[in-house]
Amino acid sequence: MFKPPPIIIGVGAPTIADVVAVARHNAPVQLSAEAIEAITAARQIVEALAADTTPHYGVSTGFGALATRHIPQDRRVQLQRSLIRSHAAGSGAEVEREVVRALLFLRASTLATGRTGVRPETALAYARLLTDNLTPIVHAHGSLGCSGDLAPLAHCALALIGEGPVRDANGTLTTVPDPITLHEKEGLALINGTDGMLGMLVLAIDDLRTLLPTADITAAMSVEGLLGTDRVFARDLHALRPQHGQQQSAANLRALLAGSAIVASHRGPEDTRVQDAYSLRCAPQVAGAARDTLAHATQVAERELASAIDNPVITPDGRVESNGNFHGAPVGYVLDFLAIAAADVASMAERRTDRFLDVARNHGLPAFLADDPGVDSGYMIAQYTQAALVSDMKRLAVPASVDSIPSSAMQEDHVSMGWSAARKLRTAVDALAQVLAIELLTAARGIQLRAPLAPSPATHAVIDALGTAPGPDRFLAPEIAAATDFVKSGRARSAAEAITGALA
């Protein structure tokens, strides 16, 4: 069995690829010597403050609205334990393993910056959880995205001190074999971060980097099957509007449709149609805008990966300062933006699918692409499923980040709701894959029904890899599930790129 190489956590920023390797491919992690040195230096500052008779927030005081109470030294271990216990107040379904691993990795990365004041053994314990494939139970509800993802991170910290459950590599519930005791400042350092929402953003970016080029593939197949024109994708037309994502999408469509006998068959004067419908003609404009949104979200994610989020924080010159960097607004906004973009790409794909099924608009194909219309229903209800998914995605596109709700006795009177934005984006991204899978199935069948006219080499390769053929009605749910896996795994994209080269 392939074992991925370890990801080294240093004082610098991890990459999106690092997060994906740990979260999705079980890469082990190690702390660099430089990180251990930075952690040790910051801890010395915290220990000096802990011995001071003057109260210091997060070191020798209570938290949040209780920050004015000075805690004597003999109660501070209990303070840390109480903080974690009380904040581990999540409820609902278990959060996916990959999300928890991303969250753990990102918290370990922040600890490694030396800006949080934890002891080296605490940071090493997080690395050990990941390497040993022990995943704390985190619940879907509990974070307001300010001060960071408190409840989800507290459930991880609870596991670290031996009081919270974890799942091992086989999914069996257990506890960590070597729990630690938290000292001054460490409880806060383990829960004051945007790691949950950031982890889900990074995973969504990874998914959308596959799904958006796949949306170009399904659009190209729909253009072929619906006898659309490729003239609207010409380079010079898109040069008139220098939107980068739009130009990338149009270039993909040109490559995907190159050599299509179906497209070539109706280029002559006998084709009296003046323009294609927007869902065909404007595909690069919508998929391109989604790409530009993804590019912006990626920039925000990379900045957040380079951040040290905690409160209070140890500054490079040795000060311990309260701050508001835990507020999730930068991440929350782009999570919402991506949900909007995903919904719009899906909405356009559903409209193309619907055109295939309507004899008034599909240019000579049988009703619902049925083998024997009337006896067979073809893809009629597959489109219902697609429409239901798109309708859900439109509701998921309503921003969470504008829905602040005050907490902590009005101390935390404006919160980001970034965790909620991330949870709904995960649902939206999964729905987008299913929507594209249904368009893929429908367009493939439409193209096959155009025989003996041949599709382009690229779309032909995708159809061959998909492995479906026209015929009487059959149990569609397994085909949709298989097509969804074909899309999500990147196999649809790989099949096309074997002909076109890399798609943007």
Give the model's pLDDT for residue 53.
76
Which tens digits make up the pLDDT trace of 295-332? Answer: 999 999 999 999 999 999 999 998 989 899 999 999 99
> Which helix H or strand E contains 8, and what residues bound it?
strand 7-9
Residues in the chain, pLDDT under 70: 1, 63-67, 272
Terminal-residue alpha carbon distance, the chain: 32
Instruction: Write down the catalytic residue from 57, 126, 333, 379.
Output: 57
Give the model's pLDDT for residue 76.
82
Pull the structure tokens for residue 245. Answer: 């994502």
The architecture of the domain spanning 7-193 is Orthogonal Bundle (1.10)
Give the model's pLDDT for residue 161.
97
Give the model's pLDDT for residue 50.
83
Pull the structure tokens for residue 239. Answer: 């040069």
Q: Is 57 marked active-site?
A: yes
Give the whole-angstrom CA distance, residue 319 versus residue 341.
42
Reported as half-sphere exposure (CB side, CA atoms, 13 A), residue 78 has a value of 5
Give the model's pLDDT for residue 75.
83
Give the model's pLDDT for residue 179.
97
Give the model's pLDDT for residue 1.
63
Give the model's pLDDT for residue 63.
66
Give the model's pLDDT for residue 267.
85
Pull the structure tokens for residue 389. Answer: 């998914």
Choose which CATH entry (1.20.1260.10, 3.40.50.20, 1.10.10.10, 1.20.200.10) describes domain 205-500: 1.20.200.10
**For 346-373, b where at least 16 C-beta lie within 10 A, e where not — what string?**
bbbbbbbbbbbbeeeebbebbbbbbbee
Give the whole-angstrom CA distance, residue 504 versus residue 252.
7
Torsion of CA 377, 378, 381, 383, to 10 degrees: -140
Give the model's pLDDT for residue 385.
98
Q: Taking the domains of the chain in order of start, what are their residue ranges? A: 7-193, 205-500
Give the whole-angstrom CA distance, residue 161 versus residue 182.
7
Give the whole-angstrom CA distance, residue 178 versus residue 384.
52
Which tens digits make up the pLDDT trace of 28-77? Answer: 999 999 999 999 999 999 998 888 877 777 777 776 666 677 778 888 88
